[in-house]
Chains A and B, each alone.
Chain A
Amino acid sequence: MNDPTEDRATGALLTRALSTYADSAPTDHHALLATVHHRLRRRRRARAVGAGVLACTAVAAGVTGVGVLRDGPIPAAGPSVPAAQPASAHADGPKFTTYEGWHWESYGTVQVQVPDTWTDTFYSHLWSCRPLVYGNSSEDVPKTPQVGRPLRGYVPLIGCPKVPEPAERVPHLWFGEANRSPGVYRHDHGWLEEVRVVDGIHLSAFGNDPVLLRRILDSAQPIDGQDAYGCSPTAPPVVGEGRRPTGPGLGGIGEVESIRLCGYGIDGLPRDARLLAGGEIAGDKAREVVAALRAAPAGSGPNHEYHCETTRLRDDLLITVRGSTGEQEVSVRYNSCNHNGIDDGTTGRQLTREALLPLVTTLYSPQLYPMILQRLTR
């Protein structure tokens, strides 16, 4: 037979052999689903929203962009960094100078400023590996500067280059890249990476604009009490101790003005929750979100009992709604195993899509919506 593809005997042999060995394949597809959920949950991380909202409550301060540039291992470069215009700070609590067109990103006990064009992502130590190639180019990794929190899960070690090929590089700021020692790493084509440790958190800035990288890293500071969004780096009692919020409830604070979002990740005990990011929603969007929170039906859930068997990981949002007559904390749990729901201290409510989606899309990249959204029909 000239054409091997028509060799039925060989084909039959192949079919038998493959069928025989397929019997040795892993069979626990129930564990598969739980593991996928587990790993997806570990990828949760949050990002701070842009400085545009904060600019509305700006308080001028007097630090210039030139002033943040120091002598050091990275030489000064071209004028790619716009002149700093100290612009904004949170209206309450500590005041922070925010450069015009930049915003704060928080992680753990550290916050740092990046340009608004730097968008949220996640990363692992495999960031330098070539991404999987999909048939649809629209699914490629965006070629825009990125800010990434580390994956909170298992990633296998494989051989990868130190940096991607030049055509595939995009600037980034990684939080928690503990595999890199502090210092400056120079790469080809003018790209470099500087790693600093601030309050125990590794910050790794990568790009081909030394001045920009320097400015980003120079803006890093430990969070003293609250970050630029008013979020505490340590778990508040509502998150860490499971207490119910106090106050009049969402119905007792007058007209809604803004919402402060603080995202916490819990890998073990709730009291050890880590601040992942902060954000803020203001104006009409805030009023729409609160309307959705109020409209959610009383109760709790939906819950995933199988999560209780596989993980103690949890992601909580603690939001603070500011109204014309007061403030109200609200707990929003959407990644717990059996305590999902919304609680303003007076009424426990079930999660709804209308309430949860705008909150998570403020804090999370669109590629990483929480799984529970699929279960929410309204």
Chain B
Amino acid sequence: MTTDDGPPDFDTWVSHRGAGLLRFAYLVTRDRGRAEEAVQDALIAAYPRWSRIGADPDAYVRRCIVNADISRWRRFFRRETPVDDPTALRPLAGGPDHAASHADADAVWQLCASLPTRQRAAVVLRYYEGLPDADIAEILGCTAATVRSQIHRALGSLRATLKEVDQL
């Protein structure tokens, strides 16, 4: 798919990476429709620059997805999507049964929704995509130190809320 002297064929690349991009966008936007729209917008934005993006367009397109979500929705809401009342969340410290696992996932999902887009994107890129800080920094257009700071704050928020829920 990737050529030595240029970017991969657009259609082929999208065919290979489309599903992954949709998953990433869904985790960042938390909405199926917005995820599809963000990926479409990112690809449409990337297309005219395709020849200049390089052999690996992944970082570029994912940056577009994050920026699209920020630029389109932050203006609208001014604040990020509010999280549900933490007292409504089920305790996270549960046994290995599926019900508990789903409760954990639900809780974390809702807590992630309370994070600013960049923090959430950093969390998704590290803990879902498994990317190193340097790659996350490239996607988010910041330094690796900033990435660590973003994740530090995000996990701090998550742990504080989880602890609060745990104590209820």
- Seen from chain A, the residues whose Cβ lies within 8 Å of a Cβ on chain B are 3-5, 7, 10-11, 13-22, 24-27, 29-30, 32-33, 35-36, 39-40, 43, 129-130, 132-135, 139, 156, 158-160, 366-369, 371, 374
Contact A29 B22 (CB under 8 A): yes
Contact A32 B40 (CB under 8 A): yes
CB distance from B155 to the nearest CB of A (A): 4
Q: What 0/1 pattern do residues 40 to 52 of B give for CB contact below 8 A with A?
A: 1001110111100
Contact A27 B155 (CB under 8 A): no
Contact A25 B63 (CB under 8 A): no
CB distance from A9 to the nearest CB of B (A): 10
Q: Would A14 and B44 be within 8 Å (CB), given that A21-B109, A29-B15, A374-B10 are in contact?
A: no
Output the nearest chain A residue to B162 by Cβ-Cβ distance.
Answer: A10
CB distance from B14 to the nearest CB of A (A): 5
Contact B18 A33 (CB under 8 A): yes
Contact B92 A13 (CB under 8 A): yes
Contact B101 A16 (CB under 8 A): yes
Contact B71 A132 (CB under 8 A): yes
Specify which chain A residues have a CB less than 8 angstroms from the CB of B37 in the assembled complex.
156
The residue that A374 contacts in the complex, of B9, B36, B101, B107, with Cβ under 8 A, is B9
Give the 8 A-B residue pairs with the shortest CB-CB distance, closest first.
A29-B18, A25-B26, A17-B108, A4-B155, A18-B128, A367-B48, A17-B105, A14-B127
The residue that A26 contacts in the complex, of B35, B64, B71, with Cβ under 8 A, is B35
CB distance from A363 to the nearest CB of B (A): 15
Contact A17 B152 (CB under 8 A): no
Specify which chain B residues have a CB less than 8 angstroms from the CB of A160 in the assembled complex.
75
- Seen from chain B, the residues whose Cβ lies within 8 Å of a Cβ on chain A are 9-11, 14-15, 18-19, 21-23, 25-27, 32, 35-37, 39-40, 43-45, 47-50, 63-64, 67-68, 71-73, 75-76, 92, 101-102, 104-109, 112, 123-124, 126-128, 141, 148, 151-152, 155-156, 158-159, 162
List the count of A-B residue pairs having beta carbons below 8 Å apart.
145
Contact A22 B152 (CB under 8 A): no
Specify which chain A residues have a CB less than 8 angstroms from the CB of B106 in the assembled complex.
17
Specify which chain A residues have a CB less than 8 angstroms from the CB of B75 in the assembled complex.
129, 158-160
Contact A22 B155 (CB under 8 A): no
Output the nearest chain A residue to B101 by Cβ-Cβ distance.
Answer: A16
* A20–B103 alpha-carbon span in the complex (Å): 11
Specify which chain A residues have a CB less than 8 angstroms from the CB of B36 in the assembled complex.
26, 32, 35
Output the nearest chain B residue to A133 by Cβ-Cβ distance.
Answer: B67
CB distance from A31 to the nearest CB of B (A): 9
Q: Would A26 and B32 be within 8 Å (CB), given that A10-B159, A13-B108, A33-B14 are in contact?
A: yes
* A12–B71 alpha-carbon span in the complex (Å): 30
* A133–B124 alpha-carbon span in the complex (Å): 21
The residue that A20 contacts in the complex, of B9, B49, B105, B126, with Cβ under 8 A, is B105
* A30–B18 alpha-carbon span in the complex (Å): 8
Output the nearest chain A residue to B25 by Cβ-Cβ distance.
Answer: A25
* A7–B155 alpha-carbon span in the complex (Å): 9
Output the nearest chain B residue to A135 by Cβ-Cβ distance.
Answer: B141
Output the nearest chain B residue to A369 by Cβ-Cβ distance.
Answer: B48
Q: Would A16 and B76 be within 8 Å (CB), given that A4-B155, A368-B48, A374-B10 are in contact?
A: no
